[in-house]
Amino acid sequence: MQRTVIPALLLLSVAPLAIAKQPAPRILGLHLGMPYAQAQSRLKEIGQFKSEDEGQQVWTLSHDQRYQYAIVGFDRSRQLRYITVLARPEGKPISYSDLGDLASATRSGGPGNLRYTWKAHDDIGGFEYVVIAKGKNNRYLDRYAVKRLDVEGEMEDRDH
């Protein structure tokens, strides 16, 4: 009895020292808050421009084993506001847990429509951001996005 209690107590005492892994505010070398020109330069390195709608751009990724597309949006000061990547259907699967500690995420939806949401703070940029991973599969994601929470889109349709 005593032999099992002591290791357990040791584990409990160490647990608070471990920092839950938060997903980073960046994907594929693109980071939130990145200036437009810099983001374009990086996107050209990793893919080809596909289309643009309402100021949001779709890029086809050339060589990434995991992701097929990147979608980016900018804020009104033309800094990167969000990045969404779509998993390559036959590519290397990405687990939700690859992004961050699932225990610190909010899990919602259910089988066939699962999502994990992390809210985090970027100490360097000084902004709040959200990371959302979605997928039909319970283990592997179909897409994930990082998005700043404190800015509006470049062409976001705020009417009034």
DSSP strand pairing (26-27 vs 127-135): unpaired
We find the least distance from the C-beta atom of residue 102 to another protein, in angstroms, to be 17
- Residue 108 binds another protein (CB under 8 A): yes
All residues at 6 or more sequence positions from 148 whose CB lies less than 8 Å from its CB, including other chains: 25, 32, 33, 75, 81, 82, 127, 128, 129
We find the least distance from the C-beta atom of residue 147 to another protein, in angstroms, to be 5
Taking the C-alpha atoms of residue 139 and residue 147, their distance in angstroms, rounded to an integer, is: 22
Stretch that binds another protein, among 4-12, 13-21, 36-44, 48-56 (CB under 8 A): 48-56
Dihedral angle sign, alpha carbons of residues 146, 92, 61, 50: negative
Pick the binder of another protein from 24, 130, 137, 140 (CB under 8 A).
130
- Residue 71 binds another protein (CB under 8 A): yes
Residue with smaller CB distance to another protein, 90 or 157: 157
Residue with smaller CB distance to another protein, 56 or 79: 56
Task: Single out the residue of 98, 101, 131, 91 nearest to residue 115, CA to CA.
Answer: 131
Judged by DSSP in three states, 74 sits in strand
Q: Which residues bind another protein (CB under 8 A)?
A: 50-51, 53-54, 56, 58, 69, 71, 73, 82, 84, 86, 108-110, 112-113, 115, 117, 130, 132, 134, 143, 145, 147, 153, 155-160
